[in-house]
Amino acid sequence: MLTSELRLMGYPSARPASCSPPSWPAVGKFSSKLAEELRAAPPVLVGIAEPNPSQGRPLYNSAVLLHKAQSARAVRKCLLPTYDVFDEDRYFESGSAPEILALDTLKLGVTICEDVWNNSDFWRHRR
């Protein structure tokens, strides 16, 4: 099963309350609780706002795999749009590179939104 980008927080618009510091720890706790509640369900890849423990912007726009009551490491969005109505660079730190998640014996290539259609490895003209 697959959810949309930033499903647990919602997509930010100009100064959303969900991008304020008090809500960040709640996302991690909720994704752990959700993994436990979905113990018997098929695997779920869910979009989250992951707190950034290092320097830079306060959050990562990430996806995490919930499976067998566990939460796998997060895959972080690399290409953050800053055009038109998008201003992701305001809230999110960019991931360093596309990543692979393991699901039992499978390897999953995970991309988030802009990463799939705007990556210079696949497209000559990036937007």
Please tell me the predicted confidence (pLDDT) of residue 105: 93
Q: How confident is the model at residue 21, as a pLDDT?
A: 57
CA distance readout (Å), 28 to 25, 78, 124: 6, 20, 37
pLDDT in tens, 28-65: 677 778 888 888 889 989 988 888 888 898 889 999 99
Nearest to 34, CA basis, from 22, 23, 20, 48: 48
Q: Which residue numbers are catalytic?
A: 5, 77, 113
CA 92, CA 94: separation in Å to the nearest integer? 6
**Bridge partners, 51 (sequence order):** 59
| Closest to 98 (Cα-Cα) out of 56, 59, 62 | 62
The enclosing H or E element of 27 equals: helix 24-37
Distance CA 108, CA 101 (A): 5
